[in-house]
Amino acid sequence: MSTYICGTTTYATIFSGFNLFSDPSHGNTMYAMSKLLQFAQKAFMKTDPYEAIIISMYELNVEAVNVRYNEKYDATLSPHELRAMCRAHPSVSIYQFLKSVECLHYQISEGDIPNTSEVYRLIENLISAICKDIAHESELYKEAKWG
């Protein structure tokens, strides 16, 4: 398995997804995001909770690359890098949001991270929630019989 530090576009897509899909019509996703927000706010005490999530995800991504390749990359983001990662794109679909979160999840699946990281667990929960929301919005799901 190869792993890499996700680019600005991946993080900007995830940031956009947090802004676009945190409403009651995406109830499962909204709940999973609220858990990530709570964790990030406690860990980083940032004014913008979405920025805090991006920072925590990026730090975990860098840690995973460092573990995988025995590197010592610095996880510090410059203000310019953070702004680029937290730039909202209003045209992100829920499918692209899911794919970007899954990409990040894959990139952070190194070493002990899956067993020890709260952020990792919360990202897994978010993926599951997005999938549920996508399925529940589907006409095929709505037409399926209960039981």
Per-domain boundaries in the chain: 8-143
pLDDT digits (tens, 9 = 90+) for 68-93: 999 999 999 999 999 999 999 899 99
pLDDT for res 6? 98
pLDDT for res 2? 86
Provide the whole-model pTM. 0.93
Which residues are CB-contacts of 64 (< 8 A; sequence separation ≥ 6)? 3, 107, 108, 109, 110, 111, 113
pLDDT for res 146? 96
Is residue 46 predicted with pLDDT exceeding 80?
no
What value does the mean pLDDT of the chain take? Answer: 93
